Each structure stands twice: as structure tokens, then as C-alpha cells.
């Protein structure tokens, strides 16, 4: 592949649209171009890198026993309506109407279509388990596409769907997908943390995300420094803290706190701190008021609250709803003597003492409040976000917060789609039963961007060899020189004969431009044919380490292959 003949439009300056390094470098290195907000065209080198990634995904999926299929990208609305997701998906789903007036969507995922397809074969238990996957372009009309390929409206994804006779059978496939995704990450030189996550619009009871730690990650994750535990900030589980309230009992006392409704204001006014204030957050759940009490230094996790309540049909109490629930006094609600309202406590409240809380009348708080003496925390759950210094519920190690890029997500769906869509199998007794399902997605174009985000320096991309568009760039500094041109042609021919396709910079531009572009494009190795050829030598540079090796043209092929073998 010759740079003089291929489309690799490198840029010297940072494009105005680029927000993060991977976005900037993929544009500057001539690997992609923007077509519209969140929609990109991949150019030859970007396409080659994506193909390498998708080949790795394909190999690992096949090794795990999955089989590739091709599904349509355009889905009729009927199965989505049947599953209940046509409305639930909201404006992110890109929809259209055909000339017959029938509604369709550009598929953001394919649970409905694959479930119908499998169910129409009327499988028996002998046909299961079954695991089918595709690698396809997906569409999600993001309200704010950003960060290039990390949050695009059109993107590439491998999505797999498994069908089983039992939960135990699903567990086996789920574990194999876990291992396959871990292997994909390793082969792409990405260090992942697997975290417990919310199931969201996909649904199911259990899901895990494969996260790459990065400052540009849009998701906050919590992980243990001692064990492999990790979770999204909404789903993490921590040990109850030991710093809430006071070790000693105190006298219950009502104090006037005029206009003091925030935790911070109350703490300052009463000369204490947030660790002694019991916070109340008021919700409306199915028309009923709910008072949620958490330590003053924590926030309510509504994802955890949804799990505890068993419904997402709740919202914070609005100003215009206060008259409907006279039992609560917004800004001054406390658990002592509170009646006529449902109450839920965070686990950390149990056994606490020396607290400040609302007195259930305007402009008044209580001091010296003690759980068990002044009120009972009968309904307790883990419903609060973690804070720095919390301990792991599994091993007692310290929990840490980080930002992460999600590259993959696996789910145990159970019967979420098979029951409403009538996807059954015939068991050994001839009875029809709904199939147990799993679903597994991994973003291949997002992996492409994530690799660049983690593997670059000030000069450009530093491709790991497994996903590099090509293994080697050959820089001919003076292509008009017959001697340099011949050495370059001989090297290219020899490497091609050994099965190595390379990029040759034969452009009529200055050596400085060639050096800068070579580092920007970032292939694992560079061979430089220049003035040293007069001494019978050429240079071999390893992009990742920056190491330079002098070698002779006659033995260069073997030296190049050895160098690439050890390249990162």
C-alpha cells in the first residue's frame, strides 16, 4: 500500500470538532472523517484497524461455540411493540414509515428479531443451547453525540443472543461469553474491569459491563483495590460505614433552625458536620409519599432505590405536590414521630446515634437523635451512593472511584423476551416451555477509539501490533534516488512474500513531513531508507518504545520480523 496512491489525508493541526485524543488522532491520522454529527466514514487505514478488531471478536466468538448470522438492520415495529420496548426506547430509536404506512426502526439492538427468528423454527430441547451473533452497523439517535467513535449515532457492534432450556444452561454460556470478552480485551491490549451494572432498556436480572479505566470515560465506576469486585456507581455494594453519627448517646433536643433546609446549612448553623446529619429525600411512588433517609454525606442512588422498590415508577416530590402529602414537611422531615408516610432507611442508619434530623415542623430540627431509642429503622436497604473510604462488601478492601469507557455488556435476560414473543421449545415430555435467554454486546468501533485513547503520545497513535492497520511503514526519504527506490522495492517484495502487507511512504515531500506523519499514523515499526544507505545501512524504529536499530538491507527482512514479533 503506497501513500502516494491511497487516501490517508493527515492533518497538521487539531480539528476544531475534536474533544479527546482518540477523536483528534483518528481524524489527524487520516483514518476517519465526519459526515454528520456522530456519523463517521472510516478511510482505508481506519477500516483495516476495525477489521483487525472484528477478526479478533469473530475468532473468540467462534471459539466459544457461537455461530455468525446476518440480521436485517431495519426492523418492523410489531415485535418491538410486543416486547414493550417500542415506546420505552424513546427518541434514541431512529424510526421511519415506509410507503405502505408501516412503521420501522433502524435497529439499536436485535433481541426481538432474533427471538422471533429462533422461535419460528419450533426448536426442541435437543436443539438448545443455541448462540447466534452478528457484527453489524447500529443506530442510536444520541441527544448529544460526542467524543468521536466513543458516543456516535452510527456505530459497529457485535451482538450475540443465546437460547437455553434452563437457567443453569444459561449460566454456562454466560461464563463462556465472559471469558470471550475478556480475551478480546487482552488481545486488543485493553485492561478491563468487569463491573456489576444496571440492565436498563435491555432488561433481565443480571448484567456486567466491561470497562476500561480512562479519564474520558462517561461512566463512573467503583472498584476494590484488593479483589476483582467492581460495579457501576448506581449498582455498587459497600459495607456500612462507621463514621456516621457519634459513638456516645446524647439528649434529644429540639432546636430552632430558621430557613435551614440543606444539610450543609443545618450542619454549619448547629456547629456540626454532614456526618452527623440525617438527610431526608422525599419521593412519590405510585401515588404514595416515600421518605428516604440517608447519611448527610451521601446521596440517594435511584437505581438502587428502583431495585428495592421493584418499580421505576417514582419521582422526587414536586413543589406542586406538597399539599397532597401533609404528613411530610419538605426540608424539615425527620423519622422521629413521623406517621402517615412510607419510610425507607439506608443501611448505615441502623444503630446510629448523636444525629441531627428534621423535627417535622417548619424551621425546627432535633439534636441527639438515636436510632432504636427515638425511632426504629425497620425498613433498611443499601440505597446510597458510595463515598471515598468505603470498604468492599466482599473482602473489606478500600473502594475507589474512577471513570470508565464501556466496551462490552453481557446480560442474563431470563424470559423477558421469550414470554411476550411466544418463543418456546418442546421439552422431553413434549410440553412447550419459554426459552431462557442471554444477550451479549461488544462495540467494535468503540474498541477502535478506546485503543487509540489508551495507546498514544504527543506525536500520535502507538498501535498495539494485534490491531494495527498494518505492521510496518517503509519511509523512502528520497524516492527519486534509484538506489533507495530499489532497496525499498526489494524489501517490500520480500515482506509481501512472507505474508506481510506494509505501508510505503513514497510521496515527494520532505523527510520531516514523512517522519511526523509516520509517528502520527503510529504503525508498530518504521523502516527508514535514507542517507545511511551510502554506508550500506538502514534504520529500523519501533514506534511503541522509540528504540532505533541499525541494520543492513540484506538481512532487513528477518530483523523487521523479529522486531515486530516483540512489539507491543
* Predicted confidence (pLDDT) per residue in 524-567, tens digit: 999 999 888 888 889 999 998 888 888 888 878 888 888 887 77
Cell 446529619 sits at which residue?
Answer: 277
* Separation between Cα atoms, residue 49 and residue 54, nearest integer Å: 9
Q: Check: CATH 3.30.930.10 for 21-225+401-452?
A: yes
Q: Mean pLDDT, the chain, as a whole number?
A: 92
Distance between CA atoms of 483 and 534, rounded to whole angstroms?
9
- Between 3.40.50.800, 3.40.50.280, 3.50.50.60, 3.30.565.10, what CATH number should domain 470-566 receive? 3.40.50.800
Write out the three cell numbers for 561. Answer: 520480523
Enumerate residues 6+ apart whose C-beta is below 8 A from 370.
Answer: 249, 250, 252, 352, 353, 354, 355
- Residue 162 or residue 3, greater confidence: 162
Alpha-carbon distance of 237 to 385, in angstroms, equals 9
pTM over 0.95: no
Give the DSSP letter of residue 372: T
The C-alpha cell of 340 is what?
402517615
What are the tens digits of pLDDT across the range 451-486? 999 999 999 999 999 999 999 999 999 988 889 989
Residue count of the chain, please give it: 568
Same fold for the pair 21-225+401-452 and 470-566 = no
| Under 8 Å between Cβ of 468 and 52 | yes
| Category of 368 on φ-ψ map: left (φ > 0), alpha (ψ -120 to 50) or beta | left
pLDDT of 395 over the 80 cut: yes
Q: Show me where the domains of the chain are located.
A: 21-225+401-452, 253-381, 470-566
> For residues 424 and 498, which has the higher predicted lDDT (pLDDT)?
424
Non-local (6+) Cβ contacts of 231 within 8 A are 195, 196, 197, 221, 222, 223, 237
Instruction: Identify the CATH number of the domain defined by range 253-381.
Output: 3.90.960.10
Using DSSP bridges, classify how beta strands 503-505 and 472-476 pair: parallel, antiparallel or unpaired: parallel
Q: For residue 422, what are the contacts with CB-CB under 8 A and spacing of at least 6?
A: 119
Q: What pLDDT is stored for residue 568 in this prediction?
A: 67
- pLDDT reading at 33 higher than 90: yes
Q: What is the residue-wise DSSP string for 38-49?
A: TEEEE-HHHHHH
Q: Ranked by mean pLDDT, which of 205-209, 351-355, 482-486 comes out on top?
A: 351-355
Q: Which helix (H) or strand (E) holds 52?
A: helix 44-63
Helix pair 44-63, 167-187: axis angle to 10 deg = 140
Examine residue 129 and say whether the peptide bond preceding it is cis (omega within 30 degrees of 0): yes
Q: Is 415 exposed, middle or buried (0-12, 13-18, 19+ CB in 10 A)?
A: middle
97-106, 206-215, 267-276, 534-543: lowest mean pLDDT where?
Answer: 534-543
Instruction: Using alpha carbons, select from 250, 245, 243 the residue that is nearest to residue 374.
Output: 250
Q: In what order do the strands lie in the sheet with 288-295?
A: 314-316, 278-285, 288-295, 342-346, 380-381
* pLDDT at position 242 over 70: no
* Three-state secondary structure call for residue 492: helix
Residue 477: phi, psi to the nearest 5?
A: -70, -30
The predicted model gives 120-135 an average pLDDT of: 92
φ and ψ at 126, to 5 degrees?
A: -70, -25
Instruction: Using alpha carbons, select from 326, 271, 263 the residue that is nearest to residue 300.
Output: 263
Contact yes or no for 239/391 (Cβ under 8 A) = yes
Are 421 and 82 contacting, i.e. CB atoms less than 8 angstroms apart?
Answer: yes
Q: List all residues 6 or more positions away from 90 whose beta carbon is below 8 Å from its beta carbon.
A: none
d(CA 96, CA 306): 33
The answer on pLDDT for 49 being more than 90 is yes
Task: Tell me the percentage of the chain whose pLDDT exceeds 90.
Answer: 74
- Joined together, the cell numbers standing for residue 160 give 450475540
Work out whether strand 314-316 and strand 278-285 pair parallel, antiparallel, or are unpaired: antiparallel
Strands 192-196 and 456-457, by their bridges, are unpaired
Mean pLDDT over 280-296 rounds to 95
Residue 255: per-residue pLDDT: 96
pLDDT(401) > 80? yes
**pLDDT for res 202:** 78
Cα–Cα distance between 514 and 506 in angstroms, integer?
9
Picking from 42-56, 285-299, 478-492, which range would have the lowest pLDDT averaged per residue?
A: 478-492
For the stretch 487-520, pLDDT in tens is 988 888 888 888 889 999 989 899 999 999 999 9
Mean pLDDT is lowest, of 71-80, 166-175, 226-235, for 226-235
The cell numbers describing 6, all together, are 491511497
Tell me the residue ranges of DSSP E strands in 233-287: 253-256, 278-285
d(CA 365, CA 258): 10
CA distance 470 to 501: 7
What pLDDT score does 342 carry? Answer: 94
Report d(CA 111, CA 79) in Å as an integer: 9
Q: What is the mean pLDDT of residues 195-216?
A: 86
Strands of the sheet with 538-542, listed across from one edge? 503-505, 472-476, 525-529, 538-542, 548-551
- Percent helix, strand and coil across the chain, each to the nearest 5: 30, 30, 40
Q: Are 503 and 472 in contact (CB under 8 A)?
A: yes
Amino acid at each position: 500500500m503506497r501513500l502516494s496512491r491511497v487516501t490517508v489525508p493527515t492533518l497538521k493541526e487539531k480539528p476544531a470538532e475534536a474533544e479527546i485524543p482518540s477523536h483528534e488522532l483518528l481524524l489527524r491520522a487520516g483514518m476517519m472523517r465526519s459526515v454528520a454529527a456522530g456519523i463517521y466514514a472510516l478511510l482505508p487505514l481506519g477500516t483495516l484497524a476495525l477489521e483487525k478488531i472484528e477478526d479478533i471478536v469473530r475468532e473468540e466468538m467462534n471459539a466459544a461455540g457461537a455461530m455468525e448470522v446476518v440480521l436485517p438492520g431495519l426492523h418492523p415495529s410489531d415485535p418491538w411493540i410486543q416486547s414493550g420496548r417500542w415506546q420505552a426506547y424513546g427518541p434514541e430509536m431512529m424510526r421511519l414509515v415506509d410507503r405502505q404506512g408501516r412503521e420501522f426502526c433502524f435497529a439499536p439492538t436485535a433481541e426481538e428479531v432474533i427471538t422471533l427468528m429462533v422461535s419460528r423454527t419450533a426448536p426442541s430441547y435437543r436443539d438448545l443451547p443455541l448462540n447466534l451473533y452478528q457484527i453489524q452497523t447500529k443506530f442510536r439517535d444520541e441527544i448529544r453525540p460526542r467524543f468521536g467513535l466513543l458516543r456516535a449515532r452510527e456505530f459497529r457492534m457485535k451482538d450475540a443472543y443465546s437460547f437455553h432450556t434452563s437457567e443453569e444452561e444459561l449460566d454456562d454460556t454466560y461464563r463462556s461469553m465472559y471469558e470471550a470478552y475478556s480475551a478480546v480485551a487482552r488481545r486488543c491490549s485493553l485492561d478491563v474491569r468487569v463491573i456489576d451494572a444496571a440492565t436498563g432498556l435491555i432488561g433481565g436480572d443480571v448484567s456486567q459491563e466491561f470497562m476500561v479505566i480512562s479519564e474520558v470515560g462517561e461512566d463512573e465506576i467503583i472498584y476494590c483495590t484488593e479483589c476483582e469486585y467492581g460495579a457501576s456507581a448506581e449498582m455498587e455494594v459497600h459495607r456500612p460505614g462507621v463514621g456516621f453519627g457519634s459513638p456516645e448517646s446524647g439528649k434529644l433536643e429540639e432546636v430552632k433552625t430558621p430557613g435551614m433546609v440543606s444539610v450543609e446549612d443545618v450542619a454549619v448553623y448547629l456547629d456540626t458536620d454532614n456526618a452527623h446529619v440525617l438527610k431526608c429525600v422525599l419521593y412519590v411512588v405510585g401515588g404514595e409519599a416515600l421518605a428516604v433517609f440517608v447519611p448527610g454525606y451521601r446521596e440517594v442512588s435511584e437505581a438502587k432505590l428502583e431495585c428495592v422498590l421493584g418499580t421505576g415508577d417514582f419521582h422526587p416530590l414536586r413543589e406542586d405536590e406538597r399539599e397532597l402529602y401533609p404528613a411530610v414537611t419538605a426540608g424539615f422531615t425527620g423519622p422521629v414521630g413521623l406517621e402517615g408516610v412510607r419510610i425507607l432507611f439506608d443501611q448505615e442508619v441502623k444503630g446510629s446515634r448523636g444525629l441531627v434530623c428534621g423535627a417535622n415542623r417548619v424551621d425546627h430540627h432535633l439534636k441527639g437523635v438515636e436510632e432504636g431509642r427515638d425511632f426504629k429503622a425497620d425498613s433498611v436497604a443499601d440505597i446510597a451512593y458510595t463515598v471515598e473510604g468505603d470498604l468492599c462488601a466482599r473482602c473489606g478492601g478500600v473502594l475507589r472511584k474512577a471513570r470508565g469507557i464501556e466496551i462490552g455488556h453481557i446480560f442474563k435476560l431470563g424470559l423477558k423476551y421469550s414470554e411476550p414473543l411466544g418463543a418456546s421449545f418442546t421439552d422431553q415430555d413434549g410440553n412447550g416451555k419459554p426459552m431462557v435467554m442471554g444477550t451479549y454486546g461488544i462495540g467494535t468501533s468503540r474498541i477502535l477509539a478506546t485503543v487509540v485513547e489508551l495507546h498514544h503520545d504527543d506525536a500520535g497513535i502507538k498501535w498495539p501490533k494485534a490491531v494495527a492497520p498494518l505492521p510496518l511503514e517503509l519511509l523512502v526519504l528520497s524516492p527519486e534516488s534509484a538506489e533507495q527506490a530499489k532497496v525499498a522495492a526489494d524489501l517490500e517484495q520480500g515482506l509481501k512474500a512472507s505474508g506481510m502487507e506494509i505501508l510505503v511512504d513514497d510521496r515527494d515531500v520532505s523527510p520531516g513531513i514523512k517522519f511526523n506523519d509516520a509517528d502520527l499514523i503510529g504503525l508498530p515499526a518504521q523502516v527508514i531508507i535514507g542517507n545511511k544507505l551510502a554506508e550500506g545501512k538502514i534504520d529500523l524504529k519501533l514506534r511503541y518504545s522509540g528504540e532505533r536499530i541499525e541494520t543492513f538491507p540484506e538481512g532487513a527482512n528477518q530483523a523487521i520480523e523479529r522486531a515486530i514479533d516483540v512489539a507491543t
